[in-house]
Amino acid sequence: MSLLLDVVLKVVVVLFAVLTGFAYLTLLERKFISRLQARIGPNRAGPAGLLQPLAEALKLILKESFVPSRADKFMFFLAPILSVIPALMLFAVIPFGNNDVLQLASHVPVGVLLVASIIGTAVYGIAIAGWSSNNKYASLGGLRAAAQVISYELAFGLAMIAVVLMSSSASLADIVTAQFGGGILGWFIFRQPLAASIFAITAMAELARAPFDLVEAEQELTAGYMTEYGGMKFALFYMSEYIKMIALSGLFVTFFLGGWNGPFAQEFWPLSLLYFFIKVLACLLVMVWVRATLPRLRYDKLMAFGWKGLLPLALANVVVTAALIVSGLPGYK
Amino acid sequence: MAIVQAPIPIYEDERNTVTAQDAQLDITFDQLKKLVSPRALTGETMLLNMGPQHPSTHGVLRLLLELDGETVINCVPDIGYLHTGIEKTAEGKPYMKSIPLTDRTDYLAPMSNNLAYCGAVEKLVGVDVPIRAQYLRVILAELTRMNSHLVWLGTHALDIGAMSVFLYCMREREMILDVYENVSGARMMSSYFRIGGLWRDVPSSFEPQVRKILEVFPKRVLEYEKLLKENPIWRERTVGIGKIDAVRALEFGMTGPSLRGSGVNYDVRKAAPYSSYDHFNFEVPLGTNGDVYDRYRCRLDEFPQSLKIIEQALNKLPAGPVITDDRKIAPPPKHEIATSMESLIHHFKLWTEGFRTPEGEVYFAVESGKGEYGVFLSSNGTPTPRRVHFRTPSFSNLQALAYMSKGCMLADLVAIIGSIDIVLGDVDR
């Protein structure tokens, strides 16, 4: 009974935190990108635009639920659900802080595998959305999504394998503990810079964020796979993108930025939550910054970059890391 | 040009059973066969309708695309969605009343259009424009060129995905629109030029305002250079894309930076100087490869040249009248009407009948931001023209799109449309 209560409590707390985080991430992105682009951003709804996410949610809920003619109705409704569930599931294994509740399920010994498999399923939502809409732009978007994810999944996995080698554990809680020694230099970003950059790039590609936003490239495919979606169905796609942004930032923090660890975080758990929050926020702001700066890659160039550039690099990195660990170099024991 | 109202599914399967009514076919199957390859008719390649409502067709251009995967096999532009009948309307109006119409052809470069039209009428009736008016026209035409290029740069960068550049360009464009507003009272449809000169002299705040632009712009242009020129993704997306050689470009009738990107040194300002352009020192930037990147470089390199011309014109700006004193062509000033009977008659005649022109035909062209903007007038001696034709750069440059986009990717097509810098008001007239 108490175990069940524990689980329910965790689920409710995490869902609440993540959904609020998502809503305000959209506002944060719009505010921050506005500043980068010499404009003000949303400031009408509530003080400093703070009620903007609420206003938008209300608008989307009230919109008519529209299904295009000759669309596959069942699949059309299924796609947004398939897209948002994996995004939410990712949070199960991310340790938010140094506290039993905040650690969630991060002690599972197959945490990294779980992450890889959940992310792998996220593309089904997009591909099905593109296929079921009976729209040519949408199907092009869906095809692009499938191709893009396949090209980047491998490098993404290999970047995580380097981390697993370093911490000799696939549990995310252990990966955080493996980065304890040596202060800030103990973080894997300094011991595994290549894996960190490959992870960051592939994560951006997984998210289909700029400069890899070919899936929804507005200027080419109008809105890509979500062209025919409106109202709450559209909101679910939007939600899955932003929740995945938070989740992958959380993973990056856990894998490479020492997780929730920081000065006095091990003694006093609220501090660990604060450190985690700050680190995730920094990652998110970098993503927005990249979006404001870079043009979009072309579809075939993106595939070439994934297969011919990142994959061999990631593979070589795994081999070199393994060799270093065997040789017992300090920092790679 | 065939009109195709919707993407046309030619084949049928269990999911897609399309009736002719659903497909809204406006052309017959035989007409379609001439436009696309036989593979499209079997469903092996995809026919995609791009536009007229599409984020990157720069207005209401419609393209019928035949795609093999993402490779463009055929691209058939379909124009006419912004046809406003400006040429026909101008036939029914006295010459001077058509000036506001010209604003609306290339609506991003109203002053260049004004200049071309006024120049054509001035050539037809043989009137001299005061030198101060000529210099002011040059300053405003060059500002207009920058205005046109800023919108092009912003939308072109946005099409390729660099969204911030768009907003920076709009910020700079604001300064130019402020100048328009200061001189004419309107920010876009300025209608400031008159036959024989300008509507009125520029206000005293004009010069400091333009000097401020001269001071701020060079720094800003450098900023764009950094964001795009050295950006590997930008280069990857533009170098070698949409190539067209000089001979082919000339055959299509391309002009302006789109032609100069292929290395053809043709600029109306140099080839047939008008409005005292021969008084100023400037260079014409040229490209070599004729790809999207070279066209981009040509336009960007025109910013410093325009600034150079504006600076020279501003330094040498003489005092004097800004409109001809030929009362048959230009209305007399208000104070004269109150005191002189003759002026009152001139005024009355001008605004009721207009002025008569000698019979004949003239063609007068200017170099607008997009290329050679020419006006052809045919007069039969009455106060209204018999025929007005605008030779607009967007229309001619668009002709090359189908050629340039053959075999490119869908994403490149968007870059190519951006690189020829079309405005649909200018295409359809």
- CB A294 to CB B161 under 8 A? yes
Assign B104 to helix, strand or coil: coil
Residue B26: what pLDDT?
A: 58
- Average pLDDT over chain B, rounded to an integer: 85
* Chosen from A213, A220, A305 to mutate, greatest number of chain B CBs within 10 A: A220
Give the rounded distance of the alpha carbon of A38 from its chain centre. 28
What sections of chain A are H helices per DSSP?
2-36, 52-62, 73-89, 111-132, 136-167, 172-178, 188-191, 193-207, 218-221, 231-256, 269-293, 299-304, 311-327
Model confidence band, residue B19 (pLDDT cutoffs 50, 70, 90): very low
Chain A partners within 8 Å of B223 (Cβ): none
Residue A72 above 90 pLDDT?
no
Distance CA B367, CA B284 (A): 12
The answer to whether B37 and B43 have CB atoms below 8 angstroms apart is no
**CB atoms inside a 10 Å sphere around CB B223:** 12
Distance CA B300, CA B285 (A): 9
Mean pLDDT of B226-234: 83
Specify whether the backbone of B377 is left (phi greater than 0), alpha (psi in -120 to 50) or beta.
Answer: beta
Distance CA B109, CA B193 (A): 13
Q: And the tokens for B296? A: 């981009």
The answer to whether B190 and B136 have CB atoms below 8 angstroms apart is no
- CB B163 to CB A292 under 8 A? yes
Distance CA A10, CA A100 (A): 10
Distance CA A116, CA A248 (A): 11
Instruction: List Cβ neighbours of B373 (8 Å cut-off, separation of 6 or more).
Output: B106, B112, B113, B116, B365, B366, B367, B390, B391, B392, B393
Q: Which residue has the higher pLDDT, A138 or A182?
A: A138
pLDDT tens by residue, B369-397: 898 999 999 998 888 999 999 999 999 89
- Total residues found in chain B within this entry: 429
Give the rounded distance of the alpha carbon of B134 from its chain centre. 21
Chain B partners within 8 Å of A295 (Cβ): 157, 160-162, 228, 231, 233-234, 237
Residue B11: what pLDDT?
A: 45
DSSP per-residue codes, A175-239:
HHHHT-TTGGGGSHHHH-HHHHHHHHHHHHHHHT-TTSGGGG-HHHHTTGGGTT--HHHHHHHHH
The answer to whether A102 and A96 have CB atoms below 8 angstroms apart is yes
Distance CA A218, CA A220 (A): 6
- CB A296 to CB B233 under 8 A? yes
The enclosing H or E element of B299 equals: helix B292-316
Residue B364: what pLDDT?
A: 92
pLDDT-wise least confident of A259-273, B18-32, B213-227: B18-32
pLDDT-wise least confident of B45-49, B251-255, B272-276, B289-293: B45-49
* pLDDT above 90: percentage of residues in chain B: 23
Distance CA B343, CA B330 (A): 11
How many Å lie between the alpha carbon of B29 and the closest alpha carbon of chain A?
Answer: 21
- CB B236 to CB A213 under 8 A? no
The answer to whether B75 and B405 have CB atoms below 8 angstroms apart is yes
Model confidence band, residue B27 (pLDDT cutoffs 50, 70, 90): low
* pLDDT above 70: percentage of residues in chain A: 96
Residue with tokens 């340790």: A95
Amino acid letter at B159?
D
For B25-128, strand residue ranges (E) read 46-50, 62-68, 71-78
Chain B partners within 8 Å of A301 (Cβ): 236
Residue with tokens 């969605």: B81
Nearest to B161 by CA among A226, A293, A140, A227: A293
Number of A/B CB contacts below 8 angstroms equals 84
Q: And the tokens for B195? A: 């036959």
